[in-house]
Every structure is written in C-alpha cells, then in structure tokens.
Chain A
C-alpha cells in the first residue's frame, strides 16, 4: 500500500497533465474523466499532503467545470486545510468554498481551522479564510467566529480589513446578533479615509439597506458625505442605490440629495454612474420636476446612442418614468416606435411595453391597428407578445379605454385570424366577458363570432379552439341577433368539429340546441301571427330550397354571401312566409337529427348527454310540428298548443340573461337559522386526511376564480343544462331571483342607450401593404397627438360593472416588511431599543400631529413613526434624559459580555450617566454610544 502511495506521489498527474490529457484524449471525454476520477479517489486517500492536495485540485476542477460530485472529499479537504503550507491551504480553501454548504456534515469540524487562520499573522491566510467564510458561513460558524471578525474589522492590514467587511454581510444574515457586536466597527469604516475601505463598506450597506432601508436612515449623513466627496464611480453607484432606498422614506432627505445627484448627472462622463443617477431620480425622486427633466434629457441621449446597450437601458428607464411622467415617453415616441423594429428582441419588447403605456382612449384604435399589422409580419414569439399586450391593455380596468366596443369585438375577431395567434384563452374570456358586460355590443359580437364559426380553416389551428368555443357560446346565447340561424346550425355541426376537444364540442352542441329552440319559438310565434322576429324577414327563399345536407358536407362557407339581407325579396304574404319557415324548420330539424345521430353514441359523456337531450327534444316536438304543417296555412290552434308550451318553456330557459355575478354575492346570502357554520375545520382535516385544504388567505382568490368562471362558457352551459333538464328549475330560479333580487345585476341597465351603432370601420380596408416602419412612423405622427374628447361621435355604451365585484377583495393590507431579527438588531444598535418599548405607552403618542396618526393602525407603522419621532425629539434638550436612557440600553445590548461590569452604572442611574464617569474604561465605552447617538441626533439637523 505504501508502495502504491509512493507510486502515486511520483507519477501523479498534475492538474495541467489532466487538462492536457483531456484535450488529447481519444477515448471520449466521459471515459477519460471517469478514469481520472478513479485516480483522484485513490490519490486523495494518500497520506502525503502534496499528493492529496493535487488530487483535491483536480477534483475541484472537474467538479466546477464538469459537474462531478466532490462531496466524498469533504473530509480530505479539511485534512489538506490543516497543512502548514500556504499552497495546500489555498487548494483546500478553494475546494471547500466550492463544495461546502449548510448541510455539509463536516462543516462542524472547520470552525477551529478557520479560527486559527483568522488569527494567523500571515495576512494572506487570513484573507483566504475570510473569503471561504463568506461563502460557507452558517449560523454556528457566524456565531462562533464573530469575535475574530470583530477584531479584524479594525486591523491595520488593509487587504484583510476589506475582506472582513465583506464577510460581515454573510455573518449578519446568518447570525443577526453579530450586529450588536460588529455594527459599530462597520460604521467606523464608513468614515475611513481609505477609498478601498469605503468601497467595501458601502457595498455592504447597499446590500443591507436593500433588505430593510428604514434601519439605516440614521446613517444618512455619512452616505451624504460620500455622495458629495467621493470620486470613485463604484462607490457613488452604491451610495446612489442606498439613497434610492432611503429617499422615499424621508422627504427631507430626498430634498437634500436631489441636487448632488443632479450635479453628478451633469458632470460625469461615466455612463454607468450617469445611468445610476437617472435611475435613482426616476425611481425614487420622481416628484422633483427639474431633476426628472434633466434625467429625461439624459435618457434621450441614451436612446439616440448607437450602442444597443444604452438604447435598451434608455427604454427601461423611460418605462419607469412613464408611471408618473408620461410626457417623457410622448416626447420620445418616435424613437420608441422605431425601436419596435429593432434587431434585438429585448429592445423590441421594451419598446412594445412603452407603446402600450402611451395608449389612451383616443388612440387605442390606431395603435392597435398598427400593432396588429406589425404582429402579422413578426415572428410567432413577438407576435404573441404584441397580442398579449393589446389584450391586457384594452381589458384593463374593465375595458376602461375602450369606447367603441363594436370596433373592439371586430379587433378580437381579427386577432384570432392571425396565423401565429396563441392567445386563445385570453380572447375567449374577453369575447364572453364583453358580451355579458356590454349589451350594445352583442349584435356586432354575434356577427364577429359567426364569421369565426363558419370559417372551417380556423378549426385546424388548435390554439384557436378556445376562441371557437367562445364564438359558439356567443352565437347560441345571442342568436336573436343572427341574420341566418340556419347557417349557424350548419357551422356548429360541420364535420370538422371533430377536431375539437370534447368539452368544446359540447359547447357547440349546446349552442346548436339554443339556436334550434330559438328558431322553433320564432316559427311558432309566426304561426300564431302574433309577432315577426326580424330575422325571418331576412330569410331568402334560395337558401331554403337548397340542399342542406350537401351544404353540410361541403361546409357552409359558401352560404355566407348568399344569405345577405335583401328584404325586398321576401313576399309580403304571411302564408307564404309560414310556408317557407315550415320547410326551413323541417330542414333544420333534419339537419340536427342527422348530425346528432352518431353523436348520441359518442364515448364522451358530455357530448353524448347533450346530443341525447337534443334528440329527445326533437322527438318530442317533431311529430307535432310536422302534423301541424300538414295542414299548412290553416293551422289548428289546439294541436299546436302543446308544442308551443314546450318550446316556450325551452326558449324561456335559454333567454334568461346571464349577467356577471358579484364575487361577494355568496357572502351576502343571510345565514339560515339552524345552520351552524363551524369556524374551526379541524374535524374536517381529520376526515380529509392529506387532501390539502385551501389556506385562509386563498379565499379571495377562490372567489376570483369563481367570478371568472361565470365568464367561462362551460359553467354557463352547465347552469343552462340544469335548467333544461329540470323543467321546474326555471320557475325555481325565477323565484330565487325574486327573493334575492339584490344579488343579481339589473339586466335592463343599459336599455336606455340606443342601439344604433354604426359599424366599426372595416379593418380590411386599411392598407396593410405599406412598409411597417412607415406605418409606425405615421402612427408616431398621428396617434399620439392628444386629441380632444369631442372627436368621439358616439357615447360609450354602458359597461356593466359590479359595485365591488370586479375588484379582488384584498383580505388584508400587505403587511409591512417583516421586521426580522437582523433589522431589529440594526435598529437597536442605531437607535436604541427604547423606541420599540415606547410604542406600548400610548401617552407618548399624544404629542404627534393628529393627521400623522390617523389610520395607522399597524403596529409596525407605529414603531416607524416612533423612530422618526425619536429622531426629532433628540434635538430637543428636554429629551436628553430619554436619550441617555437609550444609550444605557444600547450599551447593554451591544456588549453583552461586559454586561456585568456595566450593571452598576446602568441600573437606573441615568443622572449619573449625564455626568462624566470617573471610570476610565467605562468612559471610553460610553463614547461609543454617544457617537452613535451623535449620528442619531444629527439626522434631523441635517435633514432640516
């Protein structure tokens, strides 16, 4: 064995050999590596540290670049670490920082190694162990090594101190109590004149402040000094990041820093610093008009630059500005729109985002038009991004910006026909949603949906199936607006529907049923000679005499044009009309029967069930309808009555209008007597076992999804299904509505508004062929000119909104950022813990301005308010006492190990503290807190 070890040592391949070997290997890389791994596994067991360390080095290499597990060598790494040679240590530390993590078992064993190296006289060893600690420190390591790090924070060796500062961040995260020990020293380093030190410490504070900015407000003066004095761009960027977090918390601070930031913006040549200034202004100081103006000028420079990086960042910055200063986007609209055709997809997406921000009521039509044309020419990915942003922008806030819903309905139809369109689900939802919300759009919507339904080509694209299901539902629901129901039935039953999913086919069947019922109803009404529905006027004899079964086979597209309305053709004689309608009805019944026959044996229950229902219904009435028609012309009332009743009933069931249901409707149903709702569902949990119960905070979302389901055609159909199957249920429903009328929307809400919409502009008439950039530029010239509202000739139709139903109820305000132990510790050190204690004593709150107090019920708020209050108070000589009391507290917390020594001076002897302490050591320590307090009290001075 010893021989083998010696052989290993003598003939061991170095890392270089390994890499060279790998480049020249002929056996394939995996085979080569597994051979090398075998070697390493053997070598690493060697007792010779050189051999071991070389093996470890090779292993680190393979692990880092070829993803080989090296956890088996964890203990060996520790052994190498104990080597007295620096080169070995380096290898070991590298391996450890690569492979160790919180769950590594041997992590426990490293503490002493690290401690030894942290206290080493060799600064490079100290550096190595600090670097390693910054990667692997867990709670135990952070706790155990805090004293060493505390010492290193004030070492005279710059390169060590810098790293000690760096490591503090990890130590604080893992072990917040370390803050009480180290924070003071960290702050001292902020005042250091050495730029290296400042650079490191500012980085740490930047990270700390990003987690919990409020705790670091008291340090604002230090940061301000750096902001004004430092000439190091790296440091300035970090300080700006800190101020970006602090400024929103403290308006006086914002006012103070805005000018220096603008100075930097004017002066600097470094783009990174310039960009950071711009970003700070637009993110956190956007209420300072002049600063924003300057920032926008700089953004413009970025946008005009040839460098795509600057352009991208400029666009990003612009979209941040847009939140509050839309003018900045409008000023740069040409560049933004040109960027839509950039070569870089990232830039395109950004500019799309910006374009959508410019959309308003007055230009939504034009922008959507141009974007849609642009989408047609784009690749699938960008095309769908465009569609998604149009859909989401237009539907925002219950279609806030849409005035012309007819236009929007045809836009949705047009979107569906874009070949790359994959937004089926969203379009489906919106088609149904606007149908339910906007009564006036229904005729147009029915027209659009008819167009989608009768196009057999659309059935081939599975992304559109969801849209088709919406179209089918709309056609069935709003069949009264259809010009030719027969054509609809044909479209709904066309053979290619076999391509659809069963659930969608079921909707098709149901819609066909609705159309059939509607036709029968109208027919019967006609026969009675009571009313004539508008569509029967428009039926053409030609259509009726054509062979329907043939047209069923060759798909009904051809029928479209022949059906166009020509009222003149229709004979005035009511007898003749009845005659035609009779054939019409018979044909329709035959068609439905023929198409549904096979479906009644379908494997899918949804389809089978529905088809059976329809066939049953036809069976029921067919005889009567045919009989009555044998004696066409002289219809005997008696025979018809029964049929009429049935049809009437069905028609009723279907003509109940479905409105959106308020999500809080359920809650408003009073609790019936005798029903005990258990608050605690623990019993249920026992029964349900591992079935996850919805957590309490998911209820708002539950109800949202319920609301959405109302928009979902399937559930609607299910409701209807129920109605149709239980005949009594219609009356039950009516009764229910009568009783709980308040929970339903009044369906006649929009009846006062006239229905005489002119048709939206035919989208196809637009010139699609023009070059897209020209198009876009034209858009830039035209669309963004703010228009007078008067340009709208027609009033916006009523959009049904529920009083509170459309907003998702937020169960509770998002709680303030959790006050974790780290920020607590920091706050304790910076402000003393008294502020938190004081919150409980309400008497202190009385001196606050009342408007500040109002509505701030949360206790965290109180704490923060208190903190601010304390800062202000500290200027007040009368509060000196309390300040000193805090110092006492603070000291006690900061140096727990010295607590005993302090107890005497601290024990309620506040008066004594005021006077200078005779005890030398004590005084020295007393300086520390007063130093901190100095900063604490400085803040308000500085801020004012």
Chain B
C-alpha cells in the first residue's frame, strides 16, 4: 500500500504526530514507534536516510528538532518519499509560517488534515500545496 505510516518525532523521541494507514493495536504501535525511534535517531547526519526495519523501509528526514519518519513498502521509491516529506514540511510551513514543533503540537488536527489531503490508503493523491491547503484555509476563514 505504498506508505504505511507517517511519524513525527522530536529529538527526545517523543511522538508528535502518528498516522497509520493500516490498523495496529496500541501495543503494536507503541512497540513499533519505540523500535524505529531508537533505530533512526541514533544515526548521524553523514549517514543515509533509509533504514530497513522488519519487512519494510523507513525513510526519514530531520528538520530542526523534528524527525519525519515514513514507513514504506520495499518497492517504494525512497527519493520520492523524501520529496514527499519535504512537500509536507513546505505545506505546513506555508500554513503555519515557519513551522515548528509547537505548531504541530497545538494544531495536531490540522497537521492530520493536511496529511489526509495528501495521502489516502497509503497512496499519495495530492501534491499541490495550494490544493492541500484550500479546505483548511476555508475552514479557518469560516470559523
């Protein structure tokens, strides 16, 4: 299904956003996030952004204090996923203006909303920032 999950984790390893595209129990999620965070956060800047974990790959990228981790199937294009992460960050940047960890903490539902505009069933369905943000901006205006 392409993308299996999207995680945002801060430097301390606390999850700031978790979006799964397959059903996992709370315990499975807790274990998975623990393992992945341990694996990825230990890596240095000079190392590549791809980690194999269980039967899938994790593509991650660090922006300031926040790690964006995306779990994908093995035949997914790693570079495209990196671009996807970048697109996500840019989109949030455009909406929040210089997005930071706090923005995501306090507006988690919006971050989820953007993500849902971009990805359905693990497939990327929308890649235009304007299109992604259109509904959310409309909602902001009406409320």
- Nearest B residue to A166 via CB reads B120
A-B contact pairs, 30 of them (CB 8 A): A16-B106, A57-B109, A60-B109, A65-B16, A67-B26, A68-B26, A91-B109, A130-B120, A131-B116, A134-B120, A135-B21, A159-B131, A159-B135, A166-B125, A167-B120, A169-B121, A199-B124, A200-B123, A200-B125, A203-B2, A204-B123, A207-B1, A234-B124, A241-B77, A275-B79, A312-B50, A313-B50, A344-B43, A344-B47, A344-B48
Chain B positions 93-143 with a Cβ under 8 Å from a chain A Cβ: 105-106, 108-109, 112-113, 116, 120-128, 131, 134-135, 138-139, 143
Contact partners of B120 in chain A: CB under 8 A: 130-131, 134, 163, 166-167, 169, 200
Is residue A127 contacting chain B, with contact meaning CB distance below 8 A? yes
Are B123 and A313 in contact, with the CB atoms below 8 A? no
Residues of A within 8 A of B2 (CB): 203, 206-207
The residue in chain A whose Cβ has the minimal distance to the Cβ of B50 is A312
Q: Is A308 an interface residue when CB atoms closer than 8 A count as contact?
A: yes
- Least CB distance from B63 to A in Å reads 16
Report how far A199 CA is from B84 CA in the complex, Å.
Answer: 14
CB-defined contacts of A19 to chain B, threshold 8 Å: 105-106
Question: Is residue A569 contacting chain B, with contact meaning CB distance below 8 A?
Answer: no
Q: Do most interface residues of chain B lie in helix, strand or loop, or is the interface mixed?
A: mixed
Asked if A309 CB lies within 8 Å of chain B CBs, one says yes
Residue B90 interfacial (CB < 8 Å)? no
Indicate the member of B16, B79, B109, B135 with the most A CB atoms within 10 Å. B79
Among A65, A90, A272, the residue within 8 A (CB) of B18 is: A65
Question: Which one of B29, B78, B109, B127 contacts A90 once the chains associate, using CB atoms below 8 Å?
Answer: B109
Q: A162 touching B125 by the CB < 8 A rule? A: yes
Point out the residue from B23, B46, B75 that lies within 8 Å of A344, measured CB to CB: B46
Q: Does A336 reach chain B (CB closer than 8 Å)?
A: no
Contacting residues, chain A, for B48 (C-beta < 8 A): 308-309, 311-312, 344, 346-347
Contact B47 A346 (CB under 8 A): yes
Give the distance to chain B from A271, nearest Cβ to Cβ, in Å. Answer: 5
A203's closest neighbor in chain B, by CB? B123
Bound together, the chains give a CA A831 to CA B4 distance in angstroms of 32
By the criterion CB–CB under 8 Å, are B125 and A67 in contact? no
- Contact-residue bracket for chain A: 35 or more
**Neighbouring A residues of B82 by C-beta, 8 Å:** 272, 309
The 0/1 profile, CB within 8 Å of B marked 1, for residues 287-315 of chain A is 00000000000000000000011011100
B residues 1-50 touching A (CB-CB < 8 Å): 1-2, 14-18, 21, 23, 26-27, 29-30, 43-44, 46-50
* A782 close to B (CB within 8 Å): no
Distance to closest chain A CB from B32 (angstroms): 11
In angstroms, how far is the closest chain B Cβ from the Cβ of A335? 15
Interface residues of B (CB under 8 A from A): 1-2, 14-18, 21, 23, 26-27, 29-30, 43-44, 46-52, 75, 77-80, 82-83, 105-106, 108-109, 112-113, 116, 120-128, 131, 134-135, 138-139, 143
A residues at B contact (CB < 8 Å): 15-16, 19, 57, 60-61, 63-65, 67-69, 86-87, 90-91, 94, 101-102, 124, 127, 130-131, 134-135, 159, 162-163, 165-167, 169-170, 196, 199-200, 203-204, 206-207, 210, 232-234, 237, 241, 271-272, 275-276, 279, 308-309, 311-313, 343-347
Residues of chain A within 8 A (CB-CB) of B116 are: 131
- Measured between beta carbons, the chain A residues less than 8 angstroms from B126 are 162, 196, 199-200
- Chain B min CB distance to A604 (Å): 39
Name the CB-closest residue of B to A136. Answer: B23
Q: A271 near B79 (CB under 8 angstroms)? A: yes
B121/A94 in contact, CB under 8 A: no
Inter-chain contacts of B122 with A (CB < 8 A)? 207
Shortest beta-carbon distance from A231 to chain B in Å = 13
Chain B residue contacts of A204, Cβ below 8 A: 123
Known: A127-B135, A344-B46, A344-B48. A166 touches B123 (CB 8 A): yes
Contact yes or no, B47 A67, CB < 8 A? no
Chain B residues contacting A207 (CB-CB under 8 Å) are: 1-2, 121-123
Q: Which residues of A contact B1 (CB under 8 A)?
A: 169, 207
Are the C-beta atoms of B121 and A166 separated by less than 8 Å?
Answer: yes
Say yes or no: B109 contacts A203, CB within 8 Å. Answer: no
Contacts of B26 in A (CB 8 A): 63, 67-69
Which A residues are in CB contact (< 8 Å) with B83?
Answer: 272
Q: Which of A61, A67, A87 contacts B108 (CB 8 A)?
A: A61
Q: Are B121 and A196 in contact (CB under 8 A)?
A: no
CA distance A68 to B16 in the complex (A): 15
Identify which of A60, A65, A196 gathers the most chain B CB atoms within 10 Å of its CB: A65
A22: min CB distance to chain B, Å? 10
Task: Report the 6 A-B pairs with minimum CB-CB distance, sorted nearest first.
Answer: A166-B120, A272-B79, A203-B123, A344-B47, A308-B48, A312-B48
Q: How far is the CA of A15 from the CA of B112 in the complex (A)?
A: 15
Q: Do A102 and B23 touch (CB < 8 A)? A: yes
* Given contact pairs A166-B125, A313-B79, A101 touches B131 in the complex (Cβ within 8 A): no
> Known contacts A313-B79, A343-B47: does B131 contact A196 (CB below 8 Å)?
yes
Q: Is the CB of A94 within 8 A of B106?
A: no
B49 lies within 8 A of A167 (CB): no
A311 to B46, CA, bound (A): 12
Q: Let me know if A64 and B18 touch, CB within 8 A.
A: yes
CB within 8 A of A159: which of B14, B46, B108, B134? B134
Do the beta carbons of A343 and B105 come within 8 Å of each other?
no
How far, in Å, is B103 (CB) from chain A's closest CB?
A: 12
Within the assembled complex, what's the spacing in Å between the Cα atoms of A312 and B78?
A: 11
Asked, given contacts A162-B125, A346-B52, A347-B48, whether A67 binds B30 with beta carbons under 8 Å apart, the answer is yes
Chain B residues, Cβ within 8 Å of A60? 109
Which chain B positions have C-beta within 8 A of A232?
127
Measured in the bound complex, the distance between the Cα atoms of B30 and A532 in whole Å is 72
A94 cross-chain contacts in B, Cβ below 8 A? 109, 112
Verify A309–B23 contact, CB threshold 8 A.
no
CA distance A170 to B121 in the complex (A): 7
A30 to chain B, nearest CB (A): 14
Given A200-B120, A276-B77, output 14 extra A-B contacts at Cβ < 8 Å. A64-B108, A67-B29, A134-B120, A163-B120, A169-B121, A169-B123, A237-B77, A241-B75, A272-B82, A308-B48, A313-B78, A343-B46, A343-B47, A344-B46
* Contact residues in B for A276 (Cβ distance below 8 Å): 77, 80
Q: Which residue of A lies closest to B15 (CB)?
A: A65
Q: Are B121 and A199 in contact (CB under 8 A)?
A: no
- Of A64, A69, A309, the residue contacting B79 (CB under 8 A) is A309
Give, as a whole number of angstroms, the nearest-CB distance from A316 to chain B. 9
* Cβ A199 vs Cβ B127 within 8 A: yes
List, in ascending order, chain B residues with CB within 8 A of A343's CB.
44, 46-47
What are the residues of chain B within 8 A of A91 when measuring CB–CB?
Answer: 109
CB distance from B128 to the nearest CB of A (A): 7
Q: Which residue of A lies closest to B14 (CB)?
A: A65
Q: How far is the CA of A241 from the CA of B108 in the complex (A)?
A: 33
Bound form: Cα–Cα A491–B51 in Å: 46
Which single member of A68, A124, A135, A170 contacts B135 (CB below 8 Å)?
A124
A86 to chain B, nearest CB (A): 7
Residues of the A chain whose Cβ atoms lie less than 8 Å from the Cβ of B121: 134, 166-167, 169-170, 207
Chain A: minimal CB distance from B62 (Å): 13
B80 cross-chain contacts in A, Cβ below 8 A = 233-234, 237, 272, 276
